[in-house]
Amino acid sequence: MLRVVLDANVYISALIRPQGPPGQIIRRVLDNSFEIVLSPAIVEKTGRAFAYPRVRKYIHAGVDSELWFEDVILLAQLVAGDYEVEGISVDADDDKYLAAAVEGSATLIVTGDPDLLTVKEGCATAGLSGSCGLRFALPHRAPVRAGLELRRIPRHLAGFIQVNNSSEVRWGRRKL
């Protein structure tokens, strides 16, 4: 099963606009289409982000963001958060997503953060092999439509993924 790390902004967007691509991603977790990998650092960052006034004003009055996110946590694979990486992302605060992906054996990080989408192949610097084996996807490009069968493809085409109808769907801008 595909294991995925989601950026805090994906959770926020899913709660604000459940019918949008981030909301569809969360719904696919309910269908057991893939597993979300979370670390304590991601849980803490996302919880803080839900409390930001600029976020709170977009959350519907009848929705309890803390309770909603607790449900997501229960569905996710929570890693211990013992693994640390430094200096891979331009924004050091984003390294937590890479660490969770490696610790939780995830192969995909879904994010709209340009710093994460442009991660250089610097994983070896942090003691990680190659380019971590990770792919990065924009939320609106993640595999959320029913019936998509994900297949492994060569690492040099990691910016793309092949689906069951033999066409290619772009998964972000990054090629390994």
Domains of the chain as residue ranges with CATH = 2-142 (3.40.50.1010)
Q: Which pLDDT band holds residue 115 (cuts at 50, 70, 90)?
A: confident
pLDDT digits over 35-50, tens only? 999 999 999 999 999 9
For residues 104-121, average pLDDT: 80
The predicted pLDDT at position 31 comes to: 86
Q: Which pLDDT band holds residue 33 (cuts at 50, 70, 90)?
A: confident
pTM: 0.73
Question: Tell me, what DSSP letter sits at residue 112?
Answer: -
How many residues in total does the chain contain? 176
Interatomic CA distance for residues 25 and 145, integer angstroms: 9
Quick one: which H or E segment has residue 69? helix 65-75
Helix (H, G, I), strand (E, B) or coil at 26: helix
Please provide residue 132's backbone torsions phi and psi, each rounded to the nearest 5 degrees: 75, -10
* Mean pLDDT of all residues belonging to the chain: 75
Q: Which pLDDT band holds residue 138 (cuts at 50, 70, 90)?
A: low
Interatomic CA distance for residues 69 and 67, integer angstroms: 5
pLDDT digits over 43-76, tens only? 999 999 999 999 999 998 889 999 999 999 999 9
Interatomic CA distance for residues 16 and 113, integer angstroms: 18
Residue 135 above 80 pLDDT? Answer: no
Interatomic CA distance for residues 26 and 68, integer angstroms: 11
Interatomic CA distance for residues 89 and 96, integer angstroms: 10
Task: Point out the least confidently predicted range of 43-52, 79-88, 131-140.
Answer: 131-140
Interatomic CA distance for residues 22 and 38, integer angstroms: 16
- Residues in contact with 176: Cβ distance below 8 Å, sequence separation at least 6, in sequence order: 121, 130, 131, 135, 155, 156, 158, 159
Q: Which pLDDT band holds residue 141 (cuts at 50, 70, 90)?
A: low
Q: Which pLDDT band holds residue 163 (cuts at 50, 70, 90)?
A: very low
The predicted pLDDT at position 150 comes to: 33
Q: Is the dihedral angle over the CA atoms 146, 149, 150, 153 positive or is it negative?
A: negative
Q: Which pLDDT band holds residue 126 (cuts at 50, 70, 90)?
A: very low
